[in-house]
Amino acid sequence: MYMRFFSRFFSAMAGPRPVVFSGPSGAGKSTLLKKLMKEYDNVFGFSVSHTTRNPRPGEVNGKDYHYVTREEMKAGVERGDFIESAEFSGNMYGTSKAAVQKVQAQNLICILDVDMQGVKNIKETDLNPLYISIQPPSMEVLENRLRDRKTESEESLQKRLRAAKVDMEIGKEPGVFDVIIVNDNLEDAYKVLKSALNEEIDQVKKTNMSS
């Protein structure tokens, strides 16, 4: 596992700098984010995306995603409700302005979980987040994790693996991500993630305690 650091925190904007997580489907983004939010629920807030995919068992509407029809999603995009939106593995996904504002209004670090198109599109906005890439140790491990998760049809799994190959190549290009974490052993990866966000966590704790 290794980590690269190109920049540090607190942007010129008011409030804590958002953090964008990306990386191939199955790399372990949600697993790491859920751990982080459980440990620091008063520091981080999750930007709940919209998606046209069906909820998985255990997922909750409004918490994991806002589940919408393609028509609803397209109408929202046309109205300008979204900071970014993308088509991934046969479904639409997008980050609404309202989702980010809701977290920022609470003075929490806004966490976004987006695919590589989302990363590219967010780079065109003035959100100015820290970009963290979560990578699997290998394609073989990634495939096993996705299969073991049992959430995908064979067709969807193959689409996700194809997207993963492309994402992993783009992710290696210099300057795309500020921090790259290889999620091999979960506890090790979590430690690296926490240390990458250490200063922000302390800063938000201090600010929120004194307000």
Ligand X SMILES: Nc1ncnc2c1ncn2[C@@H]1O[C@H](COP(=O)(O)OP(=O)(O)OP(=O)(O)O)[C@@H](O)[C@H]1O
User: Residue 167: phi, psi to the nearest 5?
Assistant: -60, -40
Closest CB 207 distance from ligand LQESDW3C, rounded Å: 27
**HSE-up of residue 82 (Cα within 13 Å, Cβ side):** 22
- Which of 43, 73, 114, 142 binds ligand LQESDW3C (CB under 6 A)? It is 114
Q: Where are the alpha helices (DSSP H) in 12-127?
A: 29-39, 70-79, 97-104, 116-123
Indicate the residue among 55 and 101 with the shorter CB distance to ligand X.
55
How far, in Å, CA of 126 to CA of 27, rounded? Answer: 27
- Which of 3, 31, 40, 53 binds ligand LQESDW3C (CB under 6 A)? It is 53
- Which of 52, 95, 104, 135 binds ligand LQESDW3C (CB under 6 A)? It is 95
| Number of other residues whose CB lies within 10 A of the CB of residue 84 | 23
Closest CB 208 distance from ligand LQESDW3C, rounded Å: 26
CB–CB of 136/145 below 8 Å?
A: yes
Closest CB 123 distance from ligand LQESDW3C, rounded Å: 12
Show which residues are catalytic: 56, 149, 160
Binding site for ligand X (CB under 6 A): 23, 25-31, 145, 148-149, 183, 185-186, 189
